[in-house]
Structure 1
Amino acid sequence: MLINAAHWLNLAVALGIGLLIGAERERSKANGGDSTIAGVRTFTIASLLGAVSTSINFWLLVVSIICVTIFVATAYFSRKDDDPGLTTEISLVFTVILGGLAMTTASMAASLAVAAAILLAAKQPIHGFVRGVVTKDEMIDFLILAAATLIVLPLVPNELIGPFDAINPRNLWLIVILVMFIGALGHLALRLLGSRTGLPLVGLVSGFISSIATIGAMGERVKKTPGLMGTAVAGATLSSLSTMLQLAMLLTAIHPLTLHALRVPLLFGGLSIAAYGLVVTLNSFHHHTPELSKPSRSFSVKTAMTLALVIAVVLVASAALKAWFGQAGLVVASGVAGLADVHASAISAASLASTIKVTPANAAVAILVAITTNAISKVITALVTGGKVFFQKVALGLVLQICLMWIGWWLF
């Protein structure tokens, strides 16, 4: 068998893999954290065994893996530990496989070896995080999000169905995943940064889920504790900034040309509400911020599914009104839907633009109308939940935002 320079390099990678994983296991054994059956020499020889076996014959590699598995199984059952664990045994078999992989795909084998070494070395932080930091509800939410992304999404058809061919099930399910993912990010921010950083941060994070709901929650807090007026207004205002950011992300994923048509209005609206929110936040720093209870769930599946259902209805209604009345029908449908949720109108308009049923400019107008009617709902919510003073402060920021957005559209 002719051994060239490439084979020597692959053998060196296999040697490095065994040394890397073996060194971590040896250190774990030395620290008393794990009474392992193998150390650095055993892991290095195991990796080289896989590499040499692969170089000679693939079936020899299979025999080597089987033999090593039998050896580690025998060693495992002969141990007297109360809780011996299987980490080292599985790692040893995995090292043989990585050694064989190094002879064909050295870069992948090296990457997997580094990942395995990191997982082995991070035993305490990982166990502490899973057992002491992550709650049962959060773990359930993570599994739901993982199932929705990795199991359900590949099964959802990617084609237009329904009346007027207005609904793409895959796009709707992507929206469900996106809403849950954004909610999880917001929940993570609250867990990491803490609730005592203030209502402005909570409002900014919660705004990604529902700005109207956030304003209602801030209004309820002001009604119970009038001394929190400044921080509550800041949180309510910054939730509208989250709406702008979320719209930009959604349009980027669905139809970038529609986002390009709206770039100036969204920039004007985002900067204006951010500036207003910053001023209100700075003025509220002298107020005491109460400790907020930690949310038990990362996101609401019901909210995500409801939004998808609303989007589906709006898609059909928009397509029907567009077919019957042209551009005027799309604007009316977007305005009505915007009273409840601006994202549904934006997604439906951008989806129609992506299928070339309307132009990006027409979709942009419909989205601006939806944002305007959604602001009306926010103002009404502020008045009902927080009273006159809260309503006036929140309405001032929203009026400034909407005016500048339309000015940006008319000018550019």
Structure 2
Amino acid sequence: MSLPLKLFLAVLFGAVIGLERQGSNKENPSENINGIRTFSLISLLGGLAGAFYISDSIFLLVVSTVSALILIGAYYFAGSFILKKVGLTTEISMVFTFLLGFLAVSEIFPLQLILALWVVVLLVLSMKSKTGVLALGISHNELQTFISYAVIALVILPFLPNQGFFLQDIPGTSELLKSFGNDLDFMRSIEIINPRKLWFIVALITGIDVFGYALAKLIGRGKSFSLTSFVGGFVSSTSTTQALALRSKKVGAHLVLVSAAILANVASFFQIFILVAPMNKEWLAEITPILSMIILSGLGMFLFYSLKGRKENVNVGQEQTSRGENVFSIYSALKFAFILTTIKIITKICLAVFGQSGFLASSMIASFIGIDAIIINLSEMAGSVITFKEAALAFILVNAVNLLTKFGYSFFAGDRKFSLRFLFSVLVIIVSSLIGFWLWP
């Protein structure tokens, strides 16, 4: 990593810490001098000290370090004896900011360890703050959300063992399979769980949530209804479809709402590229024609209903694009990991005991609660445990069941005209996917 990039990283460390500190002092504006700029400069000074360290400029290293300590000491003296403030949190965070800047440039420790330390500092600092909005329009809950994601991706992931555990390692599995007359030998190569791979998937899924939420916040209220619905589908197509179905009972713009629901689901199809690409590029290349058929048919139905309903007017509500300020939590990440692991174990046991039909049936049942975990499971199995074509067929079936489940939600929660038009669109998408499979080379 080049020196300018290291210095930029050091400044970034300080800026984010300064954002949190600036928000924590909002109740006392007169004392709010320790914000983004202050901490950015402190971390930059630490970065320069790190540059002096690696270039063996001991005199400049000592000068920069002593200067930082004098400035922090002066700040503490002014706060304690002049302003009569009690507490050392800001001063200690300044010291850590300087150290983080120094470590980012000097590379005394691995970068992943420095990132983990930075996230832990942010996590500790954010525990006490109850301020609603910090700065730059970012709320405290949103900052905690991003810190939670940083914990997932930067603190936990790098330190997990990259070791696979297999079906035969689960107590009682051997006896269960033998009772059905199955030979366990062919199961030895089937990996059930790899902690680092599993957590990488969790980081990927939650990263998509964070990106979708940030995009929705960037768009804001009063923007294009179609664009808002697309972003809502990127966050959660099921929640967006449910919200639009509920809205269909309150307004008469069924065509516009149906087109928005279709577009939200098209957004979720684009997510599949993001989910599969890191896991199995070969299978992604194989199913791209099917995905293209699904996306094109979805866009076709969106345009069909949009043109028919262009004279309809519907107010864009925020509820369909947001799941609340807390986009996710560590608990939700652990919940997803548990669901994914359970699906992997059940589907692979069904494959071993009942063959392809059992695998397909278990995957279709699991798709009632969502397809993200199933898509990831198929990505891992395609080309090794099952063929690419079998994985593609499973994908088509679970996608069909998931779409029909969303129709069920809309039928019970929304207007009948909305739900029936949505069903027609779903059937068109399913038929298109089957055509894509039929054209499989």
State the TM-score, normalizing by the size of structure 2: 0.65
Cα drift, residue 249 of structure 1: 1.2
Partner Cα distance (1:69, 1:300) in 2 = 38
Deviates more, 1:276-285 or 1:186-195: 276-285
Aligned CA-pair RMSD: 4.1
Q: Does 1:308 align with 2:337?
A: yes
Give the corresponding residue for 1:275. 300
What are structure 2's unaligned runs of at least 5 residues?
4-32, 34-46, 85-89, 107-132, 169-190
Deviates more, 1:191-200 or 1:260-269: 191-200
Size of the aligned set, in residue pairs, is 343
Cα drift, residue 373 of structure 1: 1.5
Q: Does 1:173 align with 2:199?
A: yes
Cα drift, residue 285 of structure 1: 4.1
- The CA deviation string for residues 16-59 of structure 1, in whole angstroms up to 9 with x for no partner, is xxxxxxxxxxxxxxxxxx9xxxxxxxxxxxx999999987x554
Matches within 5 A, 1:10-409: 58-69=57-68, 72=71, 130-131=134-135, 133-161=137-165, 163-164=167-168, 165-197=191-223, 199-223=225-249, 225-286=250-311, 287-292=313-318, 296-301=324-329, 303-353=332-382, 356-409=384-437
Deviates more, 1:290-299 or 1:208-217: 290-299
2:52 and 2:58 in contact (8 A); partners too? no
- 3-state SS of the aligned residue for 1:288? coil
Q: What residue identity is the alignment partner of 1:145? A: Y
Cα drift, residue 71 of structure 1: 6.1
Q: Residues 380, 52 of structure 1: CA spacing in aligned structure 2 closer, same or farther, 3 A cutoff?
A: closer
Q: What residue identity is the alignment partner of 1:237? A: I
- The CA deviation string for residues 356-412 of structure 1, in whole angstroms up to 9 with x for no partner, is 222222212211111121122122222112132111211121111111111111113
Partner Cα distance (2:59, 2:358) in 1 = 70
Partner Cα distance (2:350, 2:69) in 1 = 69
- 3-state SS of the aligned residue for 1:166? strand
Q: Residues 314, 82 of structure 1: CA spacing in aligned structure 2 closer, same or farther, 3 A cutoff?
A: same
Percent identity, please.
23
Partner Cα distance (1:353, 1:147) in 2 = 31
Q: Residues 150, 261 of structure 1: CA spacing in aligned structure 2 closer, same or farther, 3 A cutoff?
A: same
- 3-state SS of the aligned residue for 1:227? coil
Q: What residue identity is the alignment partner of 1:265? A: I
- The CA deviation string for residues 85-142 of structure 1, in whole angstroms up to 9 with x for no partner, is 99xx99xx99x989x98xxxxxxxxxxxxxxxxxxxxxxxxxxx94251112111111
Q: Which has the larger radius of gyration?
A: 1
State the TM-score, normalizing by the size of structure 1: 0.70
- 3-state SS of the aligned residue for 1:196? coil
2:364 and 2:397 in contact (8 A); partners too? yes
What are structure 1's unaligned runs of at least 5 residues?
1-9, 11-33, 35-46, 102-128
